[in-house]
Chains A and B, each alone.
Chain A
């Protein structure tokens, strides 16, 4: 059974640029959630995707967007990067209706 994988592991961007982060869900999982974890803080829920549709969103602006593909993998896109977007971005997969999420190792984004 393959776990949740994320790419890239690290990324450096400059303010105003756009970034795409990728996540492959655990085999058989149809739901993907994205979280932002700023340094020294707990993860903050960005949004969740189920069957290629956004299934709920946290308190993040529209410049944070996502996609889920038929194979349940997912992308997180962030436009017009700001310095405060520097964080660890975590992807978690689960089966719809199941409470347990399995987290990937994260992508660490640094915005200069």
Chain B
């Protein structure tokens, strides 16, 4: 069975600082991995995804994530936080084809001025 663990329900950074949101997954098949962002009272927006190929994936808004199979991790980073990055971030895993996506519990990112 697939599962996702997001380390830290809340992360606080200063504006301009590095953002690091941690995600570890479990999957019995080669996983498809995703990061989504959710702003208050809105649905989910895809930030980036890993399917196959290059393990460093670049997404929207300056975010990127690296798939590390040996560590079963897919951590999300951004070199310099902006106030507009404050939101809830979800890591997710699915079988090939996007079937039955499993989400982590989420990490709320706070950005201090």
Contact = CB atoms under 8 A, between A and B. Distances in A.
B97 interface: yes
Q: What is the interface residue range for chain A against chain B?
A: 20 to 34
A97 B103 CA distance: 19
Given A42-B90, A42-B105, A42-B106, A103 B100 contact: no
Given A42-B90, A90-B43, 11 more contacts: A41-B106, A42-B4, A44-B103, A45-B102, A94-B98, A96-B97, A99-B96, A101-B46, A101-B101, A103-B44, A103-B45
B90 A56 contact: no
Contacts of B99: 48, 55-56
B97 A99 contact: yes
B77 interface: no
Contacts of A94: 98
19 contacts: A33-B100, A33-B101, A42-B90, A42-B92, A43-B44, A43-B90, A43-B101, A44-B103, A45-B101, A92-B44, A94-B98, A97-B97, A97-B98, A98-B97, A98-B98, A99-B51, A99-B96, A102-B46, A105-B43
A58 B45 CA distance: 22
Contacts, number: 63
Interface of B: 4, 32, 34, 36, 41-46, 49, 51, 90, 92, 94, 96-106
Please name the 4 residue pairs, one residue from A and one from B, whose CB atoms are nearest each other, closest first: A42-B103, A99-B98, A103-B43, A103-B44
A41 to B, nearest CB: 6
A63 to B, nearest CB: 20
B31 to A, nearest CB: 10
Contact of B100 (A41, A45, A104): A45
Nearest to A43: B103
A66 interface: no
Contacts of A103: 36, 43-45
B54 to A, nearest CB: 16
Nearest to A3: B43
Interface in A12-67: 31, 33, 35, 40-45, 48, 55-56, 58
